[in-house]
Structure 1
Amino acid sequence: MKKLLLIGAAAAGYVLGTKAGRERYEQIRRHSSKVWNSEPVQHGVHEAEGVAKHAASAAGSKVADAASTAGSRVAAKVRNDDDPSTSTPPPSSAGPGVN
C-alpha cells in the first residue's frame, strides 16, 4: 500500500512538473472553477450553509438548556447542604456494635 502511494505521488509530481502537466493542471483548475461558481453548485452551497447554521443553533440551544439545568441542580444541592435541617448526621465515632 505504501509503495502504491509513493508511486502515485511520484507520477503526479512528474505530470504536474512537466510543461504538458502544467497546461493540463491549468485546464483542470479553470474547469473546476467554472463548476464551483456555477448556479446549481452555489445554490447547493447556500442550502448547506443554511442547514449547518440551523443545526448549530439548535445544538447551541440544547447546550444552553443543559447548562442551565445543571446549574440549577448544583445550586439546589448547595442550598440543601447549607440547611442543617436537611443534612444527615455524621456517622458515629464509636466502634462497631456500640449503640
Structure 2
Amino acid sequence: MRYRITFFAGLAIGYVLGTAAGRERYEQLKKSASRVAQNPAVRNAAESAAQQGRQYAGKAFVAVGDHLPQRLHRVMGNGSGKASADDDWGTSNT
C-alpha cells in the first residue's frame, strides 16, 4: 500500500511539473531529439553498434549452437545471424 501511495504521489508531481513546462517546452525537446537523431555521426554510431551486435550474435550462435533447440537452428540457418526466407517468426527477408 505504501508503494502505491508513493507511486501516485510521484505521478501527481510529475503531472504538475509537466503541465507547468507546457507544450512549448515539449516541442523544444522533441525538436532537439529529432535533430540529434538526424545527425550523421549519431546515425553512423547506431549503425556500427547494430552491425557489431549482429556479428557478436552470429558468433554466439556458432559457439553454443549444439545446445540450442532445433527450432532455432532452422530459423538461424547456417549460424550467420540472419533469418532464413521461410522462417515462421514473421520476419522473412523477402
TM-score bracket relative to the smaller structure: 0.5 to 0.7
Change (3 A) 1:38 1:5: farther
Aligned-CA RMSD value: 2.7
The higher relative CO (CA closer than 8 Å, separation ≥ 6) is in 2
> Where do 5+ consecutive residues of structure 2 fail to align?
69-94
Between structure 1 and structure 2, the one with the greater Rg is 1
Q: Separation in 2 of the partners of 1:5 and 1:35?
A: 32
TM-score (norm 1): 0.52
Quick one: percent identity of the two aligned structures? 27
Q: Separation in 2 of the partners of 1:5 and 1:66?
A: 43
Change (3 A) 1:8 1:66: closer
Q: Residue 55 of structure 2 aligns with which residue?
A: 54
TM-score (norm 2): 0.54
11, 14, 25: which one aligns with 1:12: 14
Matched pairs, number: 66
Change (3 A) 1:66 1:5: closer
Q: Separation in 2 of the partners of 1:11 and 1:39?
A: 37
1:1-99 equivalence runs, <5 A: 9-18=11-20, 21-65=22-66
Structure 1 stretches of at least 4 aligned residues deviating more than 4 Å after TM superposition: 3-9
